Amino acid sequence: MNLTTDTTTSKSSHIVAIVCALLVTGALLAGYLAIRARRSQERASAATVQQTPLKNLTIELQIFEDEADTKGSQAIIGGTVRNFSNRTLSDLVIEMEFVRRDDGGKETRPVKVEPNVLTAGGQGKYQIKLPAREWSGARLIRVVGGERREEIGYKSEEGTPRPLATPNVARSKSNEPQSRPRRPGDDFYNTPDSAEVIR
């Protein structure tokens, strides 16, 4: 009698263990699927948020990007901003991406537009100076303005070309220092659409 009871109890224990294992496995699987679905939904929502501003932006600014120039050891990046909307725009900041010469790394910096307020039809200037030996390129990322730093739609065009170099006047032999030949890495370019290189 004891042997039969022990056998029955053992079978019941095994059945209970199997049922518990199935329940735990099912719960884990359901939790995994729920987390996976939630993450997929979050990624889709994030992608929608990122794309919405681009679709809803109205083009209000025209930016003429001047060809990059150098003065001494400085690279000069700038241009003209024209407000062709029917509203006044203020506190405009152009976010630009610069490329480091040594490792090709990128860094974003804000460049203010002057004057601070552009009425409808008005225009302003932006400019930044960088050590030419440290940076090799630049491009526009976006434009923001107003107290809320809202993103403003713009279109970019080529601006003023770099002034032609003035020919050197012939010198008599003297102790005047001679300019050194340009070395690799002395060029700087900006990219409205394609690279503009200064040599």
**Res. 6: pLDDT tops 90:** no
> How confident is the model at residue 22, as a pLDDT?
79
- For CA atoms 87, 112, 153, 68, give the dihedral sign: positive
Per residue in 144-165, pLDDT tens?
Answer: 999 999 999 999 999 998 877 6
**Res. 129: pLDDT tops 80:** yes
Bridge-based pairing state of the strands 150-158 and 59-65:
parallel
Structural tokens at position 62: 């025209």
Length of the chain (residues): 199
Distance in angstroms (rounded) separating the CA atoms of residues 134 and 48: 37
Per residue in 44-77, pLDDT tens?
Answer: 554 444 443 445 789 999 999 999 998 899 999 9
- For CA atoms 112, 140, 118, 122, give the dihedral sign: positive
143 close to 154: Cβ distance less than 8 angstroms: yes
- For CA atoms 102, 163, 143, 130, give the dihedral sign: positive
> How confident is the model at residue 20, as a pLDDT?
77
Q: Tell me phi and psi for residue 123, to 5 degrees.
A: -145, 155
**Residue 15 pLDDT level (bands cut at 50, 70, 90):** confident
> How confident is the model at residue 117, as a pLDDT?
97
User: How many CB atoms are closer than 10 A to CB 154?
Assistant: 19
CB contact set of 102 (below 8 Å; sequence gap of 6+): 134
**Residue 176 pLDDT level (bands cut at 50, 70, 90):** very low
Least confident of 119-123, 126-130, 161-165: 161-165
Mean pLDDT of the chain: 77
